[in-house]
Amino acid sequence: MTKNILVVPGDGIGQEVTAVGKKVLDKIAAKFGHTFTYDEALIGHVAIEATGNPLPDETLAKMKKSDAILFGAVGHPKYDNDPTAKVRPEQGLLKMRKELGLYANLRPIKLFDELLSASSIKPEVLKGADILFFRELTGDIYFGEKGRKNNGDTAFDIAEYSRYEVERIARKAFEAARTRRKKLCSVDKANVLETSRLWREVVQKIAPEYPNVQVEHQFVDAAAMILIKDPRRFDVVVTANLFGDILTDEASQIAGSMGMLASASVGDGTGVYEPIHGSAHDITGKGIANPLASILSAALLLDISFGMKAESEAVISAVDQVLKAGFRTGDIADAQTPKDKILGTDAMGEEVLKRI
Ligand code: NAD
């Protein structure tokens, strides 16, 4: 198969880990007889520095033309500490999601057995946890009207959802649940929020179309608690943009580290595959970032955008073997990890490549 992949590393460790993710795609192409061609584009702080725009038109045009996008991260400390900055790296990310119609963010939370001890949650609570989150990505409080009033002393952000927006993400989640353990948990705050009451109404209305899927509804506060107390209770979870943002970071602790988790953003056009972590200024340039989330993002890309199941499995299995062989990056190492098994970004990538 011939495919055109756009690599968008972005900022900070995005540059470091995406380079490794790309090498993995290259190795898969060679091994399975595919032809992958690559182009690269700017987003975030690096794009602002080069063009003044966090999502330059040229980047957007390349994104729309490509078959899939391997993405890094955006963010720079300059903006984190300056809430008044008018142009910000994250604007690039939000605009990309809107422009590409990426309304569903999929985050598989699966713990590799070898990392049971890397999580702060007890192994007996965690073992076997396997959750697929569907976070709605283009609505909610992030995209509603926002502003200041009363001379700037009062601020507001409006949360909005349409029936159509809830229905399309709910259907994706129901469909995924059908292929898994057939359980769907819809998370909202319907006791307080009107957007959540619409959310619940829509999920309840379409549920009878999926009779094999057992549906439950949880309030977000309860869901946050259950996630730590009994994560195995969840199979597929579907939720709104803000709740999903927070719950999936909480769930990252089930997998031991943000450095292990991949995500896919899909919708109407080209899919975007990226680690859930950010640009991690604290470790940028040190060569110690965990590249496994980017590598697992490449695996999701192969599976979801290209339908290459065997190729995707080959990547996941190589990651599993590397962990079984005892190799760790600093973020997933523990006191028992021998020093010579703690690897930097590139060396970890090499171990995965060797096993594909
Ligand atoms: P972060 O995810 O960048 O880092 C959180 C912590 O996890 C840090 O201590 C970091 O060192 C560690 N970490 C993250 N990824 C790692 C990896 N691959 N290997 C080892 N350790 C890793 O979140 P943050 O510190 O809150 O934000 C830093 C910047 O990233 C901010 O500018 C923020 O706006 C941006 N951000 C971007 C995205 C995105 O592009 N999707 C997501 C979250 C945050």
pLDDT single digits (tens) 199-236 = 999 999 999 999 999 999 999 999 999 999 999 999 99
The 3-class secondary structure across 237-289, one letter per residue, is EEECHHHHHHHHHHHHCCCCCHHHCEEEEECCCCEEEEECCCCCHHHCCCCCC
Which ligand 1 atom is nearest residue 17's CA? Answer: 18
DSSP β-bridge partners for residue 41 = none
Q: Residue 266 has which token pair? A: 């899909």
Q: Is residue 80 in contact with ligand 1, taking CB distance under 6 Å?
A: yes
| Section 28-56 average pLDDT | 97
- The answer for residues whose C-beta is within 8 angstroms of residue 151's C-beta and 6 or more apart is none
Rounded distance between C-alpha atoms, residue 229 and residue 255, angstroms: 15
pLDDT at 173 over 90: yes
Cα 115–255–173 angle (5° rounding)? Answer: 140
Residue 278 Cα, ligand 1 centroid: separation in angstroms? 3
| Section 339-346 average pLDDT | 96
Class of domain 1-112+258-356: alpha beta
Q: Is residue 74 in contact with ligand 1, taking CB distance under 6 Å?
A: yes
The pLDDT of residue 44 is 97
The pLDDT of residue 197 is 98
The residue behind tokens 């033309």 is 65
Provide the 3-class DSSP secondary structure of residue 143: coil
Q: Residue 187 has which token pair? A: 């998370």
Contact assessment for residue 111 and residue 255, using Cβ atoms and an 8 Å cutoff: yes
Check if 1-112+258-356 and 120-254 are the same fold.
yes
Quickly count: other Cβ atoms within 10 Å of residue 177's Cβ.
24
With respect to CATH, is domain 120-254 assigned 3.40.718.10? yes
Quickly count: other Cβ atoms within 10 Å of residue 282's Cβ.
9
Burial class (CB in 10 A: 0-12, 13-18, 19+), 12: buried
Q: When comparing pLDDT for 322 and 126, which is higher?
A: 322
Q: Is residue 98 in contact with ligand 1, taking CB distance under 6 Å?
A: no
| Domains of the chain, residue spans | 1-112+258-356, 120-254
Residue 300 Cα, ligand 1 centroid: separation in angstroms? 20
Q: Is residue 81 in contact with ligand 1, taking CB distance under 6 Å?
A: no
Cα radius of gyration rounded to whole Å, the chain: 20
Q: Is the pTM of this model over 0.85?
A: yes
The pLDDT of residue 258 is 81
The pLDDT of residue 121 is 86
Residue 177 Cα, ligand 1 centroid: separation in angstroms? 29
Rounded distance between C-alpha atoms, residue 6 and residue 26, angstroms: 13
